[in-house]
């Protein structure tokens, strides 16, 4: 099988990497396409994937409109050369249109309810939508649900083992606590009109937390000059090892909050947008969702001063894993048996339970 995956964000590389590696071992061929956005190219290169970049990622409204046509055209040309049998993507607009033009199936994974403009542009051209069971949007008969989170495609214990050397890379003393913070750039289409942590609260939060733990920051955009000294300097492919060993995560991005939860690290998610997966992870006691920043300093201090913080949240992680599947194993089965896999899941809505790995 020849498979083309169009990547629009670094997180999508992680979503598909184990799936691609395992499928390549089975003899399937892959090509990745992308735009220049953050560390996407670096990650694809680091993981050894064949990749084609179509240029800069546009941020303005006019730029995005231009990109809609130019990236779609470039993807079509590349696809005609590669001749893929299948286009899996993370709600990919360009992939859905090119697959439709070429008469090939597009399988869309999506966990973002508020990406309404994306849904309007890709769902009509997509025969199969795969969504986690916590996804609160109806795509009709083409929609299938599985019991998992996207982040478990790469952070499930079957695929990810935290590297303890990360503490030395961060210059930490033995048993020294640290807080990892992530700020977004607010350039995505679904970020328009939304908000997270104001600068004055960021400064105060970091000042207070620094009295209890070391602080590291990752940011999509520019950091305030006074916060630059906290910037995380580890390689991009080590970010999940940082998350795994952090005592606490605080951020404006739902993906990284979910990643922290999947790793058993308590997460404070601050964003006016609500997402189904973080809401479900709060039920397991792994994520604290704040639509406004009010109260986040008190919650952060409460967590970082909890003497049982580590063991408590690892236990909660194990609790969650008992209910969730190995998403990569499921995706391999689904794609290798497509389209018969669609009929199997439509007849047995809980078919994916076979991919749940009960953790000891």
Cα(164)–Cα(304) distance, integer angstroms? 20
More confident residue, 191 or 121: 121
What is residue 59's predicted lDDT score, i.e. its pLDDT?
66
Whether 112 contacts 190, CB under 8 Å: yes
What would the pLDDT profile of 261-308 be if each residue is shown by its tens digit?
999 999 999 998 889 999 999 999 999 999 999 999 999 999 999 999
pLDDT band (50, 70, 90) for residue 353: confident
What is residue 346's predicted lDDT score, i.e. its pLDDT?
94
- Looking only at the bridges linking them, the beta strands covering 51-56 and 87-90 are unpaired
What is residue 220's predicted lDDT score, i.e. its pLDDT?
81
What is residue 358's predicted lDDT score, i.e. its pLDDT?
53
What is residue 34's predicted lDDT score, i.e. its pLDDT?
94
Kindly state the average pLDDT of the residues 17-27.
98
Q: Which residues 6+ apart lie within 8 Å of 21 measured at CB? A: 47
CA distances from 68 to 14, 64, 215, 300 (A): 24, 6, 39, 41
Q: Greatest CA span in the chain, whole angstroms?
A: 59
Bond preceding residue 339 cis, omega within 30 of 0: yes
On average, the pLDDT of the chain sits at 92
Tally Cβ neighbours within 10 Å of residue 118.
Answer: 21
More confident residue, 9 or 104: 104
What would the pLDDT profile of 201-249 be if each residue is shown by its tens digit?
999 999 999 999 999 999 987 888 999 999 999 988 899 999 999 999 9
pLDDT band (50, 70, 90) for residue 190: very low
pLDDT for residue 342 is more than 50? yes
Kindly state the average pLDDT of the residues 23-48.
92
**What distance lies between CA 157 and its chain's CA centroid?**
16
Burial of 165 (C-beta count, 10 Å sphere; 0-12/13-18/19+): exposed
**Phi and psi at residue 161, to the nearest 5°:** -125, 115
**Complete domains list, the chain, with CATH:** 2-156+326-350 (3.40.50.2000), 166-321 (3.40.50.2000)
């Amino acid at each position: 099988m020849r498979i083309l995956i169009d990547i629009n964000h670094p997180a999508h590389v992680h979503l598909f990497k184990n799936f691609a590696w395992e499928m390549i071992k089975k003899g399937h061929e892959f090509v990745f396409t992308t735009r220049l956005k953050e560390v996407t190219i670096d990650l694809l290169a680091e993981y050894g994937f064949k990749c084609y970049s179509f240029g800069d990622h546009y941020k303005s409204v006019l730029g995005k409109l231009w990109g809609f046509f130019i990236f779609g055209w470039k993807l079509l040309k590349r696809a005609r050369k590669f001749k893929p049998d299948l286009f899996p993507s993370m709600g990919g607009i360009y992939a859905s249109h090119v697959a439709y033009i070429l008469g090939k199936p597009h399988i869309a994974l999506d966990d973002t309810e508020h990406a309404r403009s994306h849904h309007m542009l890709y769902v009509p051209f997509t025969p199969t939508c795969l969504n986690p069971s916590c996804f609160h949007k109806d795509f009709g008969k083409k929609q299938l649900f599985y019991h998992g989170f996207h982040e478990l495609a790469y952070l499930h214990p079957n695929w990810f083992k935290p590297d303890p050397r990360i503490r030395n890379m961060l210059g930490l003393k033995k048993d020294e606590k640290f807080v990892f913070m992530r700020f977004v750039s607010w350039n995505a289409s679904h970020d328009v009109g939304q908000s997270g942590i104001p600068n004055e609260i960021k400064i105060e939060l970091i000042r207070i937390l620094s009295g209890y733990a070391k602080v590291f920051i990752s940011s999509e955009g520019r950091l305030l000059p006074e916060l630059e000294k906290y910037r995380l300097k580890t390689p991009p492919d080590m970010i999940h090892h940082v998350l795994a060993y952090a005592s606490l995560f605080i951020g404006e991005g739902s993906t990284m909050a979910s990643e922290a939860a999947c790793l058993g690290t308590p997460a404070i998610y601050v964003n006016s947008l609500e997402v189904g997966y973080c809401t479900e992870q709060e039920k397991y006691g792994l994520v604290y969702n704040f639509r406004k920043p009010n109260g986040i300093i008190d919650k952060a201090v409460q967590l970082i001063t909890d003497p049982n913080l580590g063991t408590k949240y690892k236990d909660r992680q194990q609790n969650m894993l008992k209910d969730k599947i190995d998403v990569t194993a499921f995706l391999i089965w689904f794609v290798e048996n497509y389209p018969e896999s669609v009929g199997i899941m439509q007849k047995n809505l809980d078919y994916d339970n076979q991919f749940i790995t009960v953790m000891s």
